[in-house]
Amino acid sequence: MGSVLVFGASGQLGQCLAHVAKERNTPDLVFLPEEQANILNPEGLQALFAQHKPTYVINCAAYTAVDKAEDEVDIARKVNRDGVENLSRLCAAHGTTLIHISTDFVFAGTGNQPLVETDETAPISVYGLTKLEGEQVISQHTPQYFILRTSWLYSEYANNFVKTMLKFGRERDELRVIWDQTGTPTYAIDLAGCILTIIETQSPHYGTYHYSNEGVTSWYDFAVAIFELSQTQVKTTPIRTAEYPTKAMRPAYSVLDKTKAKTQLGVAIPHWRDSLTVCLSRLPA
């Protein structure tokens, strides 16, 4: 197998990929520095492909500031659509398989049944729309791709909900957390393992997949579990989304059905609470 180029290597998932690759002793992963791996620079990308001749590209690079995207539509679209198109074209030209990370925000979140890959997309935010546009340019330009839609990503790396709750839990006596948004947390270490399994097995089952941990919860119940498992004493009060207005709308229900990933990719997916326990055990007390 040739090299594997990782774009967005300094982000949360990129750091998790480095962690899992080291644990598994997975060779040939190239974690590119940001200044060298600008997905908005086609000439620079061409030079990287010519140098490394990658078998796989993992794209973790994205504009993920959900609320800021409502005001920064152009830059969100450049990163989430145009940069992805640059990668897709080069992957097609070089016979490289693209593994791209997408989001549950491509759905409106108005249903009450776990979402399968073929369900209608209808994003309700600029972030969700630009991520969907990224998915669309991939399918237009290359046949060799895996799109992994995920949700509520957290880990011991970078900034995320778990680390924020632990920080607030230490600093405050009471927290108010939204309870009427339903989904599933995803431990980014588990997602990284799924990505490396695709590569290690050289899976031929291209297409779009859903990957989050198993189970269903709300942000409020997720926070309660974080405090319970970390033995953090803080009063936690459930509130409705309407009581905590944000610039961008979020899906009210975005539980992802993982049947396709389990059957076609052969991955075992832990329950979110089990993975949260593992993550908390790796964080400093």
Span 158-188, pLDDT tens digits: 999 999 999 999 999 999 999 999 999 999 9
Sequence spans of domains, the chain: 4-160+185-216+253-270
Task: Give the active site residues.
Answer: 127
Residues 6+ apart with CB under 8 A from 83: 39, 40, 61
CATH of domain 4-160+185-216+253-270: 3.40.50.720
The edge-to-edge listing of strands for the beta sheet with 56-59 is: 29-31, 4-7, 56-59, 97-103, 145-150, 207-210
What is this structure's pTM? 0.97
DSSP state of 96: P
Span 185-236, pLDDT tens digits: 999 999 999 999 999 999 999 999 999 999 999 999 999 999 999 999 999 9
In degrees and rounded to multiples of 5, residue 14 shows phi and psi of -60, -45
